[in-house]
Amino acid sequence: SSPDSDSSKPELEKAGLLNKTKISEGGRKLRKNWNQSWVVLVGNSLVFFKDPKSQTPSSWKPGNSRPESSVDLRGAQLEFADCLSSKKNVFKLRTVTGNEFLLQSETDSLVREWYNTIQGVIDRLERE
Ligand code: I3P
């Protein structure tokens, strides 16, 4: 292992439940399909898992659950986007590849925390 193996170990920044829908794929608009997602911010990525509560108790165990998808935050853009939904507390995440996601929760403070934490990672990656 390298001397800097500590700094190369992805850091878990945040994890929790958010409502999520993908609205574009490579710049092409998609039909919304809101679902609750278990969201994990680790290293340079935002990783989405299916909502554990929507699965049978035996099928979901931490660590043996495969991500549904994963987003590289390098060069990504965030903006609050209440105008893009009838829901409140919505923000949009756009990747360099032109994929766009809306993320939302009924809890204002939780959404602000997620927004700020993700923006912090985007800013860190820009400085690297
Ligand atoms: C969509 C669904 C979404 C809604 C979307 C509707 O209808 O109601 O929840 O987005 O609004 O088109 P359908 O189920 O028939 O696809 P919001 O909840 O974010 O408002 P939109 O078309 O104005 O984006």
pLDDT value at residue 67: 87
If you measure from the C-alpha of residue 34 to the centroid of ligand 1, how many angstroms do you get, rounded to a whole number?
A: 8
Q: What is the pTM of this model?
A: 0.87
Ligand 1, atom 17: nearest CA belongs to which residue? 85
Ligand 1, atom 2: nearest CA belongs to which residue? 32
Mean pLDDT of 81-96: 98
The answer to whether residues 20 and 103 touch, using CB atoms and an 8 Å cutoff, is: yes
Cα 127 from Cα 117, distance rounded (Å): 16
If you measure from the C-alpha of residue 32 to the centroid of ligand 1, how many angstroms do you get, rounded to a whole number?
A: 6
In angstroms, the first-to-last Cα distance of the chain is 22
Cα 114 from Cα 78, distance rounded (Å): 11
Cα 78 from Cα 54, distance rounded (Å): 28
> What does the pLDDT look like over 7-23, one tens digit per residue?
566 788 899 999 999 99
For ligand 1, residues with CB inside 6 Å are 31-32, 34, 85-87
> What does the pLDDT look like over 101-125, one tens digit per residue?
999 999 999 999 999 999 999 999 9
Location of structure tokens 């390098």: 74
What is the complex's ipTM, to 2 decimals? 0.93
Residue by residue, DSSP assigns 35-47 as: EEEEEEEETTEEE
> What does the pLDDT look like over 26-78, one tens digit per residue?
999 999 999 999 999 999 999 999 876 655 555 555 555 788 999 999 999 99
Closest atom of ligand 1 to 104 CA is 19
